[in-house]
Amino acid sequence: MSTPGVSVWAGRRRACLCGSIQQVTIVRVRRARSHPHETSGAHVGPEGAVAHAGETAHDVRARIRKAGKTRWELLCVVDADERLIGTMTAAELLALPDDADVAGPALKRGGPHVLPGADQERMASVALHHEVVAMPVVDEGGRLVGVVGPARLMRILRREHVEDLHRLAGITRETEQVAGAQEALEALEEPPMRRVRHRLPWLLVGLAGSMLATLVVARFETALAAKPALAFFVPGLVYLADAIGTQTEAVAVRGLSLSHAGLARLLGGELRTGALIGGVLGLLSLPMVWAVFGEMRLAVAVALALASASLVASSLGLLLPWLLSRLRSDPAYGSGPLATIVQDVLSLLIYFAFVTAIVI
């Protein structure tokens, strides 16, 4: 009976020194390639080596050298049915004595792993959370499919980052495959009509939102006509609320996919942050408005509206991306133009509510 072999991934197929395992391995890699491009199974690469329980460190190292494998990051130890038992890094394998069993105490059991159909961003998040350099991919039965290495994980994070930048700016794409620097360059240099097609949809939503904001302002036409000074504070209030919301969105869009904290904890932190920011801005604006316009009631209304709008914008900047992530949509879709529209309308309603209650 032959000794179980060490198999390593090499491009389109996984080379295996043990003939009895080779057919199973090839079928599994082909199955991995059948997954959509944004799933973990599509990113299985040549960064993994495989050994079986019961092999010695000397045998494993010898087979890896014989195979000429120089670019691997993770040794995956499997049982007779190729179910993943545990992993170790190349450095940990080199540190083992020659006669040590690779499935011994040095093996990390129960480590992080993902299914082939898992979203690529989720896989990168798990790798960051557990501080691992490579991620094993296993099927529903726990059988090893492959390993996603650090370079591929970095490319995934960069691609997701570029996608989020486009979505935060309200730019849609004919395809969601913004794969890296080349695609980003093409987006910058593409023909004007194609740029319009990518950017216009969310701007049309913004146009509808601006009409709604206009209706809100028109609702208070009488108050504005009686006291024109009320209109002076609208641009500044809307801008500050948008800026605060954008800051929260920038943190939330990527943080929601990486954080393992619950919504209550995240929202509580944002509420405190928004309250502190709004309080500082309100306290600073109150004496300035009073000094310039000489009306304490107007100054109080502006300060309270600014504080309240800051609190709402900070909370909304977290809640919209969170809601979309719960609906299995990219959180970035809840940012940019959509969040700006909602924040603008709410900020106007808050401002005129305080003005009506205190000044008029």
The CATH number given to whatever domain includes residue 83 is 3.10.580.10
Pair (142, 222) in one structural domain: no
Quote the pLDDT of residue 281: 94
Q: Are residues 324 and 227 in the same domain?
A: yes
| Pair 239, 353 in one domain | yes
Instruction: Give the pLDDT score at 127.
Output: 84
Task: State the pLDDT confidence band at 287, using cuts at 50, 70 and 90.
Answer: very high
Q: Residue 298 pLDDT > 90, yes or no?
A: yes
Asked whether the beta carbons of 148 and 128 are under 8 A apart, the reply is no
Mean pLDDT within 271-277: 90
Domain count, the chain: 2
Residue 141 sits in the same domain as residue 223:
no
Range from 75-79, 165-169, 317-321, 327-331 that averages highest in pLDDT: 75-79
Residue 19 pLDDT: 33
Amino acid 119: pLDDT: 80
Same domain, residue pair 123 and 25 = yes
The answer on 342 and 237 residing in a single domain is: yes
Q: How confident is the model at residue 332 (pLDDT cuts 50, 70, 90)?
A: low
140 and 26 within one domain: yes
User: What's the order of all strands across the beta sheet hosting 74-78?
Assistant: 13-16, 7-10, 48-52, 74-78, 84-89, 108-109
- Write the pLDDT tens digit of every residue in 1-44: 333 434 443 333 333 333 333 333 333 443 445 566 678 788 88
286 domain residue, yes or no: yes
Residue 175 lies in a domain: no
Calpha distance 83→73 (Å, rounded): 19
Cβ-based neighbours of 308, under 8 Å, separated by 6 or more: 278, 350, 354
Residue 248 resides in a domain = yes
* Helices within the chain (DSSP H only): 19-33, 57-66, 90-95, 120-130, 150-168, 181-189, 192-219, 221-226, 234-258, 263-293, 296-326, 337-358
Residue 166 lies in a domain: no
Predicted pLDDT at 120: 82
Q: At which of 96, 120, 148 does a domain end? A: 148
Which of the residue ranges 69-83, 229-243, 253-267 would you say has the lowest mean pLDDT? 253-267
Closest CA to 330 of 151, 119, 41, 179: 119
pTM higher than the cut 0.85: no
Higher pLDDT, 81 or 326: 81
pLDDT at 187: 53
Report pLDDT for 347.
92
pLDDT at site 156: 82
Query: What was the pLDDT predicted at 277?
Result: 93
Residue 348 is part of which domain span? 218-358
Return the CATH number at 244: 1.10.357.20
Same domain, 347 and 260: yes
Looking at the structure, do residues 34 and 138 belong to the same domain, yes or no? yes
Q: What is the dihedral of CA 79, 84, 86, 87, to 10 degrees?
A: 110
**What pLDDT is stored for residue 256 in this prediction?**
62
Which of 148, 169, 201 finishes a domain? Answer: 148
Which pLDDT band holds residue 334 (cuts at 50, 70, 90)? low
pLDDT in tens, 114-172: 888 888 878 888 888 888 888 899 988 889 988 888 888 888 877 776 776 666 655 55
d(CA 33, CA 44): 8
In a domain, 167, yes or no: no
109 and 241 belong to one structural domain: no
Q: Tell me, yes or no, whether 76 lies in a domain.
A: yes
Residue 296: the pLDDT is 94
Domain assignment of residue 96, yes or no: yes
> What average pLDDT does range 231-246 have in this prediction?
90
Last residue of a domain, one of 101, 123, 148: 148
Same domain? For 11 and 91 the reply is yes
Is 291 a residue whose pLDDT tops 90?
Answer: yes
**pLDDT reported for residue 37:** 65
Judgement on whether residues 231 and 316 belong to the same structural domain of the protein? yes
In a domain, 75, yes or no: yes
